[in-house]
């Protein structure tokens, strides 16, 4: 029972940490990767059978590769955003969005300081957290089948 709660708690915690370190676009872009992680983990465990010589097997592998390459592109692309990230200003000119979404929890501060020691920036941490979220959700779904 503890395993169940720790998996769900860790899953949601990583998603929320990813939201606090990046923006909603990145967090939403990674959520379609849950079926890919589920497929890969099910194939590793042996629940999903992949026959590369059939049309279905080729489509499964190509689909997983396309999804993983799209997620990798999101991780490595650091260009300018199409819609500005400046935040919303009030009548006085203060930035409301940055103050509202600042993270003050102990867990996120500890995780940020630990990762910064090893050269991982908060933007990278914000991208790693949704990937961990998708992995944990995929693992939870595979464990339910076993």
- For the chain, which residues make up each domain, given as ranges? 2-76+108-145
- pTM exceeds 0.95, yes or no: no
Q: How confident is the model at residue 103 (pLDDT cuts 50, 70, 90)?
A: very low
Helix (H) or strand (E) holding 137: helix 122-145
DSSP-assigned letter for residue 86: S
Q: How many CA atoms lie within 13 A of 51 on its CB side?
A: 4
Report whether pLDDT(2) > 60.
Answer: no
At residue 20, φ and ψ (nearest 5 deg) are -75, -25
When comparing pLDDT for 146 and 45, which is higher? 45
Give the residue, 42 or 112, on which the prediction is more confident. Answer: 42
Can you give the pLDDT at residue 5?
58
pLDDT band at residue 3 using 50, 70 and 90 as cut-offs? low
Q: Which has more pLDDT, 107 or 90? A: 107
Q: Is 85 helix (H, G, I), strand (E, B) or coil?
A: coil
For the stretch 50-102, pLDDT in tens is 888 999 999 988 988 888 787 777 666 666 655 555 444 444 444 444 444 44
pLDDT of 125 reads: 81
> In this prediction, what percent of the chain has a pLDDT beyond 90?
12
Distance of CA 108 to the CA centre of its chain: 15
Q: What is the pLDDT of residues 16-29, one digit of tens each?
A: 888 888 888 778 87
Phi first, then psi: what are they for 89, rounded to 5°? -105, 145
The rounded distance, in Å, linking the Cα atoms of 65 and 143 is 23
């Amino acid at each position: 029972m503890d395993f169940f709660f720790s998996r769900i708690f860790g899953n949601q915690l990583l998603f929320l940490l990813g939201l606090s370190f990046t923006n909603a676009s990145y967090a939403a872009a990674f959520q379609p990767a849950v079926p890919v992680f589920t497929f890969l983990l099910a194939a590793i465990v042996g629940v999903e059978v992949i026959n590369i010589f059939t049309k279905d097997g080729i489509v499964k592998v190509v689909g997983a590769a396309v999804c993983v390459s799209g997620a990798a592109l999101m991780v490595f692309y650091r260009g300018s955003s199409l819609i500005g990230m400046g935040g919303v200003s009030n009548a006085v000119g203060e930035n409301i969005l940055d103050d509202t979404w600042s993270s003050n929890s102990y867990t996120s501060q500890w995780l940020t300081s630990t990762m910064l020691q090893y050269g991982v920036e908060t933007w990278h941490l914000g991208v790693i957290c949704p990937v961990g979220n998708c992995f944990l959700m995929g693992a939870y779904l595979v464990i339910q089948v076993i």
